[in-house]
Structure 1
């Protein structure tokens, strides 16, 4: 499947179509200045790092002493070679041609919002939320709707904190923009212009307030950690900043609906990628060491991450720069393939793998509803996931939509059982998931028969569904 993502949203407000949005690539950085990730060999930043960066022709933008990473800017093309002449530096990578991109596929449709009765005791559009019924969220919420002391950090494109279905649950104190690589808590900086972050946030924590929809955990707090710019690209300095922020601000769970571009796989044996790969890994590990449970989307390429061969579709940024290269196990998708991260695949209304969902033994931990507009259509007529969107509500599909379901269940589990280490929470989510067996192989959901995939594993665990579909009720009652 093409790595170019269709990112239009069907937006719904007051029961009618409000509009559609198509994202475009960001404009090039003005001038010759370039951002660099400087990775030190030790998990510390030397006291004179600012001086050595200056001597190399750059300036320090941000310094993360806990992981030995400095974000620097320089207009000198020799900066990388100069800074790496310092024996304490392991590597330095430029980030202008490196971006992370949204993992979702969101297609404009334009169909009218169908009539549907709300679920008993829930909000007006809850009858359209087949996804919540599928993971037993209504039954779980009847027992525990989440605690306001639990905070989910949605590392995304920010959020619309004025949205009536989100406003009461927004954690302003822990929300931030990391887009420039430096934390900025000005609310205007982390407001969501793109819409993607508002959609994922609503799935996690839209309030049960008599309007719109209901999130998995309607009483928890949601912190908007904006790492994606308004065009939907997440640069490495922003991702590093986001995880460092989450780890140092008491965030309980992060949702991560993106992966590192321009390479589909980031390779630690590639000199141009190594510093970025390691720096992002260190930031994620730091967050987990501080007690943050990291939940991540698996991707929309319909590929098996447990296998490696040839990558022909990247780098996809800038467009048209794709090359063919051998891919080995030294290459991983970030953040989902970092050890300890909870990987989430996507299924649809019929409890089958969504046609686009990436999968793989050893990477997939659980599955959750991501929607499938082609082959799995519910009686309400829309196989995608309905959630909040600036100015109203929107349907969307993708593993980006699956991941926040799992993050919401994780938040409910903490609310019910108390704070626990990320490994313990991962074990709880996988042990309470509803097992799903592999379909007959090869699995191809239907015409045009171009989505064939092979499921490896058994009933208890397999590459399509991991340990099974997240079950909110079991997670709060076990």
Structure 2
């Protein structure tokens, strides 16, 4: 996850899955803000819509609209006191302020301690040799397959070689089908990028957010709007995270840059993240319901929703309003996820970048994280959920580096980890930083310029950025790491399976999510826990940390059912 995953870099380099709702959450930050009227999503109990509406009115609120699909009312109410008034009613299951809730910030490996300032280009040094699908126990090119030429930057894609997404692997027999629709719920997709455009479905793409230049306290949030309406076109990504995710899933084999896991499937932008990388609950659930109602086959969710890293329904250290907000996030997202899954959408999420055993969390120091500086230390336990990674019906993906060890930043847990995939680990195989151990994928030129990562003449200014030119057309790519980068590998493999086994439908193809999940698990390459049951990470810029792995080779807390394998998915007979 990137602003789905935010990279925190200082004396210690730690990647954290970022996402934020509102803070003081429901209270808003300042005392004045707490008394201001604002909009809330009020999730009502089954059959209790009318009672919930009466409770809203009794507490000084006004019902503005509602959604019977997910069972909520949109209400205008007078601040935190309004929310506390709703907390005592059994007609109300949760309340969430209609404000930003998530951050998806992929970690830019080029800004890590020890990274150089030189720009990498396609003429740079060749990367180290990494394990191939054969090393994971998979066959090479199937009999009769026609290999295609590798893309210009394919030698930098250790991740694709690791899972067998290569000309002699899955590309040869199962590159995907255009009819398969992959939704990317993120910060947007740059549909104009040369290595995205051929597979970008502009007609179905939607932007569910409006840019907000400043937060309620007047601090810069998204910055100046790029268009007069402050609602960006559906082919724009001012952050870059969503474009990177989309590229990993389905950059085409077109002689430009790289290829994704499923290079012939269609990409649909379902933007729910702000330019700043934050997410609102309402756009997130709107993106899911849109996916369900418009034939999307699989969605990638490399973010977490919340002002809270962990959502606790009844944490004694939280106020009644905060408890109700957290219940609103858990309830609202679960309803949206259930709605989508019942309508044929396979749900895949990054697990998170907090280096945490999600089965044994004990404290949360980063919540609520909006507005700024509202965080406090909270005691949490296993009843508290990271959403959507720990939501029901979601396939959660941990991250591995080039040697297939679990990445140092990746969350884990026997109950929580379903699969693993390449997400990058700049310290894998040693103590020192190496940006080429990250994941290379497409990056929007505008976003790189805004962040100062390329110069006015287009020359990259740090070694996380690669410029590659073919026949006078130049495109940009970037090395990033995170479980945000792992999840799209799994999403791409899911798209391969749907392409192969999906049934014809009026809007393309369809395949039951349960069947997709079963085949993802069956084709994954099993990987056992470290021999001692634990692994100690020794990295120059971090204190040594030990992560304990539980479970068998068939299913464990580091790798779930195994590392996703595109080559196996391309050849399995079910």
TM score, norm. by length of structure 2? 0.72
Does 2:107 match 1:105? yes
CA distance in 2, matches of 1:7, 1:218: 32
Distance 2:303 2:237 in 1: 16
Counterparts of 1:193 and 1:58, CA distance in 2: 35
Distance 1:43 1:249 in 2: 27
- 1:252 is displaced (CA, Å) by 0.4
Change (3 A) 1:51 1:265: closer
Q: 1:469 aligns with which of 540, 549, 563?
A: 563
The CA deviation at 1:100 is 1.4
Give, in whole Å, the separation in 2 of the partners of 1:85 and 1:69.
Answer: 17
Q: d(CA) in 1 for partners of 2:528 and 2:498?
A: 28
Mapping for residues 228-377 of structure 1, pairs under 5 Å: 228-269=273-314, 270-376=323-429
Distance 1:464 1:26, change over 3 A: closer
Q: CA deviation at 1:296?
A: 0.3
| Cα distance between partner residues in 2 of 1:129 and 1:390 | 19
Residues 6-405 of structure 1: pairs in structure 2 closer than 5 A: 6=7, 32-42=36-46, 56-58=60-62, 60=64, 63-74=66-77, 78-80=81-83, 88-96=91-99, 99-102=101-104, 104-107=106-109, 108=111, 109=115, 110-111=117-118, 112-113=120-121, 114-116=124-126, 121-138=149-166, 139-179=169-209, 188-189=233-234, 191-269=236-314, 270-376=323-429, 382-391=436-445, 392-405=476-489
Cα drift, residue 106 of structure 1: 2.4
Change (3 A) 1:86 1:362: closer
State how many pairs are aligned: 457
- The structural deviation recorded for 1:351 is 0.9
Separation of aligned partners in 2, 1:26 and 1:358: 21
2: distance between equivalents of 1:144 and 1:158? 27
C-alpha distance in 2 between matches for 1:72 and 1:287: 24
Give me the whole-angstrom Cα distance separating, in 2, the residues matched to 1:51 and 1:27. 23
Give secondary structure in 2 for the equivalent of 1:453.
strand
Q: Deviations over 1:332-376 (max 9, x none)?
A: 111111122111000011111111010010111111000011234
Cα deviations by residue, 1:113-161 (Å, 9 ceiling, x for unpaired)? 32449x9612111111110000101111110110011001000001111
**Which residue of structure 1 aligns with residue 523 of structure 2?**
432
Q: Is the Cα–Cα contact under 8 Å of residues 261 and 317 in structure 1 kept in the other structure?
A: no
Aligned CA RMSD, in angstroms, stands at 3.4
Deviations 1:279-320 (A, max 9, x none): 111111111111110000011111111123333342233333
What's the CA shift string for 1:90-120, capped at 9, x where partnerless? 3423354x62122643232444232449x96
Q: Is the Cα–Cα contact under 8 Å of residues 147 and 415 in structure 1 kept in the other structure? A: yes
Contact 2:21–2:102 at 8 Å: present in 1 too? no
1:243, CA displacement in angstroms?
A: 1.1
C-alpha distance in structure 1 between counterparts of 2:91 and 2:235, whole Å: 35
Query: Does structure 1 conserve the Cα–Cα contact (< 8 Å) formed by 2:157 and 2:440?
Result: yes
Residue 452 of structure 1 aligns to a residue whose secondary structure is strand
Task: Please report the TM-score for the alignment, with normalisation by the length of structure 1.
Answer: 0.86
Distance 1:44 1:214, change over 3 A: farther
Quickly say closer, same or farther: Cα 1:130–1:473, change in 2 above 3 A. Answer: same
Is contact 2:19–2:103 with CA below 8 Å preserved after alignment? no
Question: Which residue number corresponds to residue 13 of structure 1?
Answer: none
Matched, 1:417 2:508: no
Q: Give 1:14's aligned residue.
A: none
Determine the C-alpha separation between the residues in 2 that align with 1:55 and 1:176: 35
Of the candidates 514, 530, 538, which is equivalent to residue 446 of structure 1? 538
In the TM superposition, residue 178 of structure 1 has moved relative to its aligned partner by 1.6
Aligned to 1:11: none
Contact 1:165 1:202 in 2 (8 A): yes
Q: Which runs of 5+ in 1 are unaligned?
A: 9-22
**Bigger shift: residues 25-34 or 344-353:** 25-34
- Give the match for residue 218 of structure 2: none
- Alpha-carbon distance between aligned partners in 2 of 1:69 and 1:295, rounded to the nearest angstrom: 24
RCO higher in structure (CA 8 A, sep ≥6):
2
Helix, strand or coil for the counterpart of 1:382? helix
Comparing 326-335 and 107-116, the one that deviates more: 107-116
Does the 8 Å CA contact 2:441/2:477 hold for their aligned counterparts?
yes
What is the SS of the residue equivalent to 2:83? helix
- Unmatched 5+ stretches in structure 2: 10-17, 128-146, 212-228, 315-322, 446-475, 503-509
Q: Is the 8 A contact 2:21 2:279 kept in 1?
A: no
Instruction: Name the CA shift for 1:77/1:451 in 2 (closer, same or farther; >3 Å).
Output: closer
